[in-house]
Structure 1
Amino acid sequence: MLDEKILLLLDCNIYKYNYTKHCFQIRNYFKVDNDSLIQELKEILKILEENQIKYKIEKDNTILVHK
Structure 2
Amino acid sequence: MASSEREQVLTEVEMSAVFWFLIRLLIELWLFLFRMSYQSLVALLERKYEISSIAKCDMSRFIHVTICW
> What TM-score comes out, normalization by structure 1 length?
0.34
> What TM-score comes out, normalization by structure 2 length?
0.33
Tell me which protein shows more strand as a share of its residues: 1
Larger radius of gyration: 2
